[in-house]
Amino acid sequence: MKLKQFYKLLLFIVLIPFLSSCFEVIEEIAMKNDGTGDVVLTINLSQSKTKVASVMLLDSVQGYKVPSKQKIQQELNEAVAYLRKSEGISNVKSTSDFNNYIATISFSFKDVSNINNITKNILAQQKIKATNTSSYNYNKATKTFSRKYQAIGTAKTEFNKLKAKDKAVFNGATYTSIYRFESLVTSSTNPASNVSKSKKAVMLKSSIMDLINGKINVSNSIQLSK
């Protein structure tokens, strides 16, 4: 008996039926009063690490090809290389932890609008259609930070085309955005957002399912004290 094959089969029988997993996507932006700032993007699959580890041992799951560790690392490197070339972006770093399945990318920007097209372009590079249009803006004069977000209608229809089994992957996945400022926040228009006790940060947490379905909109306009 080919032990490796047997092992793969075993994992398949044992683990795949429960392939709903939890993962976190976190976006952190720290704005300085002069309009520059830093971004940290984190994707954390640690809660599902048993499943991810199992899936990584398989060639494909539910009809999707499973990327190898090398392939994931390579794609992360490509994203970093792309960022380094982007206008107004500097100090690009990435980390990856294949024991806990956590990856981060961090960088600094000259102006928050520099990052507007980045996510979209990175996704496009990987041949993934963006599911939303999102743009950031910081007005130094009025000290307003705003994010405009519009879910693309087709995202929902595309998503609904997926098999129930595949959709289940997104059950329990969360998206968190944190905006941090040097000045105090006087107002934040998105009702789903929370202002920290220190009044210097705004957080919005939502399930990825709600984002895809358009139940939650992450647009926000944050007024800082002058």
Partner 1 sequence: MKKILIAIALFLSFNLAKAQDLVKKIPANAFTVATIKGDNVFKLMFVKDFNESFVGKKLLTETSKSLDKSFTSIEDFGINLEKNMYYFNQLSDSITYNCFLIPIKDAKKFENLIDSKEKKFTQQGDIRTMVLPDSTSIIKWNNNMLYFVTGSIKGSFFADSVKSARYGIKDIRFQSDDAIVADSAAVAVDSAYATTDEPMVEAVDAPVVEKVKVRKKSTAKKNTKKTVGTKKTGKKKTAKKSKKVARIDSDFEEAREFAVDTASAMTPVHGIVDEQYDTYQQERLEQDAKKKRLAFTWMIAQADQIFTGSYESIENNKSYTASLDNKAIAELWVSSLQDVYNSISPEFGAYGKAGLMKGYGSLNAKLFMDDKSFRISTGLELAQEQADAYKKIMNRKLNKNFLKYVNSEKALGFMSYSIDTKAYLEEFPKLMKQTYGSLLGGKMDEEIDLGTELFSLLLDEEAVSKVIKGDALFVINGLNTKDVTYTTYEYDDDYKQKEIVKTKKETLPDFLFMFSSEDHRLINKLIKYGVNKNYVSVENNIYKVLEKKSPIDIYFMIKDGIVFFGNSLTEMQGISNNQYNSNKLSKLHKQLLSKNNFSFLFNAKNLVGKVPDSEIGGEETAKKFNSTLEKMGNVYMKSNPIKGRLVSADISAEIPNGHENALKYLFSLIENAAK
Q: Does 15 bind partner 1 (CB under 8 A)?
A: yes
Q: Is 11 in the site for partner 1 (CB under 8 A)?
A: yes
The answer to whether residue 44 forms part of the interface with partner 1 (CB under 8 A) is yes
Whichever of 68 and 142 has its CB closer to partner 1, that residue is: 68
d(CA 43, CA 128): 17
Site string for partner 1, 21-40 (x = CB under 8 A): ---x-x-x------------
Q: Establish if 16 lies at the interface with partner 1 (CB under 8 A).
A: no
Q: Which is nearer to partner 1, 55 or 151 (CB)?
A: 55
Query: In this structure, what token pair is assigned to residue 222?
Result: 């944050």
DSSP E strand boundaries for the chain: 24-31, 37-44, 60-61, 64-65, 89-97, 102-109, 132-139, 144-151, 174-180, 185-188, 194-195, 201-207, 220-224
Residue 62, sorted as left (phi over 0), alpha (psi -120 to 50) or beta, turns out to be: left
Q: Which residue has the tokens 């709903």?
A: 20
127 near partner 1 (CB under 8 A): no
- Binding interface with partner 1 (CB under 8 A): 1, 6-7, 10-11, 13-15, 18, 20, 24, 26, 28, 44, 46-47, 49-51, 53-54, 56-57, 100, 102, 168, 171-172, 178, 180, 196-198, 200-203
